[in-house]
Amino acid sequence: MSQGSNFVDYVKICCRSGHGGAGSAHLHRDKFTSKGGPDGGDGGRGGHIIVQGNAQLWTLLHLKFRKHVIAGDGDRGGSSLKTGKTGRDEILEVPLGTIARNAETGEIVFEINKDGETQILTPGGRGGLGNWHFKTPTMQTPRFAQPGEEGKEDWNVLELKLLADVGLVGFPNAGKSTLLSVVSAAKPEIADYAFTTLVPNLGIVEYRNNKSFVMADIPGIIEGASKGKGLGIRFLKHIERNAVLLFMVPADTARTIKEEYDILLKELNEYNPELMHKPRVLAITKADMLDDELRAEMKKDVPADIPSIFISSVAQQNINELKDILWREINNQ
């Protein structure tokens, strides 16, 4: 299977938690006691649907075909104040950066960001109280107990946002996949046409002294992406989690560098204004096509308020210098 078919960043699941067990209405009896008091135990709680972070996972593929998740019911309470057995919990392991939201309201319930972190997605029903809870001075032998609480059934969406140190931002064919293949061991599909990258690619970039950082190549955004055009906001969301955004503008762009950079900025701002607070670096790609005179002319059009560099992934021009800039920006965070 290609990475495209393996990468799943959205699943919708019907979750049914367990019913709580009923409390017991037992009255104590043994060979010495014919009319003892209440000793009915509480029912066990129903099983929860639990989401747990797993740093070894990078996709929701394993949940793609699991449309219904059903937890176990709690057992009834027993005599001698014995509490019923708790229902079986169902644990859904997810990659870090997974958001859980209610499918009907769209409301975010929680976000999983740490390995081993657990959150209850759909809580099980509480167990009913046994009859000993209801004993009073005027009612010494209550012959009733609480029924268990019913479990819940709801539809939830699990949605993955990639965790990366550097997110690549640029129009299709800006050279993002090529850069990722040069600086890391990632093998993204590369071709000279728009929208080659249909899923985000992650690469670990080796840096000096055995250090490294994670770079994410996000499918190219086009004008109108924040309104759902092109590949749209389905992929823009992955940029939200990146520490540093690397804007990539090819030297052979039909616009000026500043015009193309401003359009990319506008898209990000319309999608989520908070992205505007992230540190940005600008790389002018395919710089091996430029002679010194043309490069000097183009430099005049580069925005002054952002670290910038001319690079060529194919010719390996200024790649180490770009890593230095990115490392500095990541660690300024």
pLDDT band at residue 7 using 50, 70 and 90 as cut-offs = low
Would you call 94 exposed, middle or buried from its count of C-beta atoms within 10 A (0-12, 13-18, 19+)? buried
Tokens of 133: 């809870």
Count of structural domains within the chain: 2
Residues 6+ apart with CB under 8 A from 289: 251, 252
* Residues 246 and 276 placed together within one structural domain of the fold: yes
Beta strands 166-169 and 212-217, pairing class: parallel
Q: How does residue 3 score in pLDDT terms, banded at 50, 70 and 90?
A: very low
Q: Is the pLDDT of residue 178 over 90?
A: no
pLDDT in tens, 59-115: 888 998 899 999 999 999 999 999 999 999 999 999 888 999 999 998 999 999 899
Same domain, 153 and 171: no
Q: What pLDDT sits at residue 228? A: 55
> Are 194 and 132 contained in the same domain?
no
pTM of model > 0.75: no
b/e for 203-221, b at 16 or more Cβ within 10 A? bebebeeeeebbbbbbbbb
Q: Which of 118, 137, 160 is the last residue of a domain?
A: 160
d(CA 126, CA 142): 21
Question: How far is Cα 235 from Cα 159, in angstroms, rounded to an integer?
Answer: 11
Cβ-contact 281, 325 below 8 angstroms: yes
DSSP letters spanning 4-29: HHH---EEEEEEEPPPPPPPP--B--
Output the DSSP codes for 107-170. Answer: -EEEEE-STT-EEEEEPPPPPPPPGGGG--SS-SS----PPPPP--EEEEEEEE----SEEEE-
- Alpha-helix residue ranges (DSSP H) falling in 203-300: 233-236, 257-271, 292-299
Of residues 189, 251, 187, 245, the one with CA closest to residue 221:
245
Tell whether the model's pLDDT for residue 197 goes beyond 50. Answer: no
Q: Among 131, 160, 189, which residue terminates a domain?
A: 160
Q: Which residue has the higher pLDDT, 14 or 211?
A: 14
| Calpha distance 236→220 (Å, rounded) | 9
User: Would you say residue 136 has pLDDT above 80?
Assistant: yes
What is the percent of the chain with per-residue pLDDT over 90, rounded to a whole number? 45
Domain that holds residue 222: 166-331
Q: Which residues contact 229 (CB under 8 A, 6 or more apart)?
A: 222, 223
The answer to whether residues 202 and 321 belong to one domain is yes
Out of 134, 160, 186, a domain closes at: 160
Residue 178 sits in the same domain as residue 316: yes
Name the 3-class secondary structure at 319.
helix
pLDDT at 200: 64
Residue 230 has pLDDT above 70, yes or no: no
Average confidence (pLDDT) over 4-30: 86
User: Same structural domain for residues 186 and 200?
Assistant: yes
**Listed range (142-146, 192-196, 231-235, 325-329) with the worst mean pLDDT:** 192-196
The per-residue pLDDT for 206 is 82
**How many residues does the structure list for the chain?**
333
Kindly report the CATH number assigned to the domain that includes residue 312: 3.40.50.300
Is the pLDDT assigned to residue 135 strictly greater than 90?
yes
Considering the domain architecture, whether residues 5 and 140 belong to the same structural domain is answered as yes
Q: How far is CA 224 from CA 17, 168, 173, 199, 266, in A?
A: 41, 18, 17, 19, 10
Same domain, 266 and 199: yes
Q: What is the pLDDT of residue 222?
A: 53
Structure-model confidence comparison of residues 197 and 49, the more confident one: 49
CA atoms within 13 A of residue 11's CA, in its CB half-sphere: 22
> Does residue 200 sit in the same domain as residue 303?
yes
Task: Tell me the per-residue pLDDT of 262-308, one tens digit each, with 9 for 90 and over.
Answer: 988 888 887 777 778 889 999 999 888 888 888 888 888 888 889 99
What pLDDT, on a 0 to 100 scale, did the predictor assign at position 237? 65
Q: Are 110 and 92 in contact (CB under 8 A)?
A: no
The 8-class DSSP code of residue 330 comes to: H
Q: Are residues 327 and 297 in the same domain?
A: yes
- Same structural domain for residues 10 and 155? yes
Looking at the fold, whether 16 and 154 belong to one and the same domain comes out as yes
Radius of gyration of the chain (CA): 29
Q: What is the mean pLDDT of residues 36-60?
A: 92
Identify whether the C-beta of residue 284 lies closer than 8 Å to the C-beta of residue 325: no
Question: What's the CATH code of the domain at 150?
Answer: 2.70.210.12
